[in-house]
Amino acid sequence: MELDFDIKMTTSALYDYNMHHTYTSFSGVIATFAGIILLAGYSRDLSNIALLIAGIVILLYSPVTLFTRSKKNILLNPAFKNPLHYHLNDEGVTVSQGDDAMTVEWKDMYKAYSTNQSIIIATGKKNAWIFPKRELGESRVELIEMICTHMDPEKVKIKQ
């Protein structure tokens, strides 16, 4: 089985990945919890405006920063200027752009998961290939089948 498709990275897809990555990490959960605690403290003592301001800043800082960073990366990173071509087969995944190509074998994939907007194959703790569902079109089902066929089921957390 082989599958080929092209992906043009967008700010929206990169932002979705960054939000998921941040808010499923320990620090993202702690920051959210701290913001909620501060807002709850304000609701008990409405005269302490500092709690309200601190809670709002903590809760809004990450989403705003992640969006800004995603937009900047899309605009400035040469890898995002043109579509990336992906070729999947029984050996692994090859991603190419122009004359540059890189192949990662299925056994070396870290994990695969989905968000509302994307299917993601993590090639390491901080590196991933992002496949926006709307760009995949009909290839989405085939991509999921290939991932589920070639990766350890413990590493796959994809929701249809």
Model's pTM, two decimal places?
Answer: 0.87
Task: Please name which of 64, 39, 34 lies closest in space to residue 53, comparing C-alpha atoms.
Answer: 39
Whether 160 shows a pLDDT value over 70: the answer reads no
Whether 80 shows a pLDDT value over 70: the answer reads yes
pLDDT (average), residues 98-126? 93
Q: What is the pLDDT of residues 31-47, one digit of tens each?
A: 999 999 999 999 998 88
pLDDT (average), residues 93-120? 94
Whether 151 shows a pLDDT value over 70: the answer reads yes
In three-state secondary structure terms, 92 is: strand
152 falls in which pLDDT band (50, 70, 90)? very high
126 falls in which pLDDT band (50, 70, 90)? confident
Distances in Å between the Cα of 142 and the Cα atoms of 53, 88, 102, 114 are 48, 10, 21, 15
Residues 6+ apart with CB under 8 A from 107: none
pLDDT (average), residues 77-87? 93
Say if CB 62 and CB 69 are below 8 A apart.
no
- Average pLDDT over the chain reads 94
Say if CB 131 and CB 117 are below 8 A apart.
no
